[in-house]
Amino acid sequence: MSATTIGWCCKLRKEMALLVLLQPMTTSGFIGLRHTAATRLADAGTNTREIMAILGHRCIQTSARYTHATDEGVRRAMEALAQRQTRTVTKKTPQ
């Protein structure tokens, strides 16, 4: 991960901490925001290691618990798989 990305992640964490200090919320509300952020990052194509860094986790399994599949993300993944399968079958067909 680049120094710029690491710096951005640290800045984001500090801003989130400041937000919590200025606008207190329940623990479940803050955790809900983290789940939403992780899910949206994953849905946008962010890889798991980057999500892990943004959330400040040391373990991928912890980040995986925060990331949830969306219907749209599952649809895109299935379409990508179907396209890959079509390309593979096309390449194997004798000409």
**Model pLDDT for residues 41-52, shown as the tens digit of each residue:** 888 888 889 989
Cβ neighbors of 51 (< 8 A, separation 6 or more) are 38, 41, 42, 63, 66, 67
**46 φ, ψ to 5°?**
-70, 135
Q: What is the pLDDT of residues 60-80, one digit of tens each?
A: 888 888 888 888 888 888 898
CA 42 to CA 65: how far, in whole Å? 12
d(CA 82, CA 86): 6
State the pLDDT confidence band at 90, using cuts at 50, 70 and 90.
low
Angle between helix 48-55 and helix 3-22 axes, rounded to 10 deg? 40
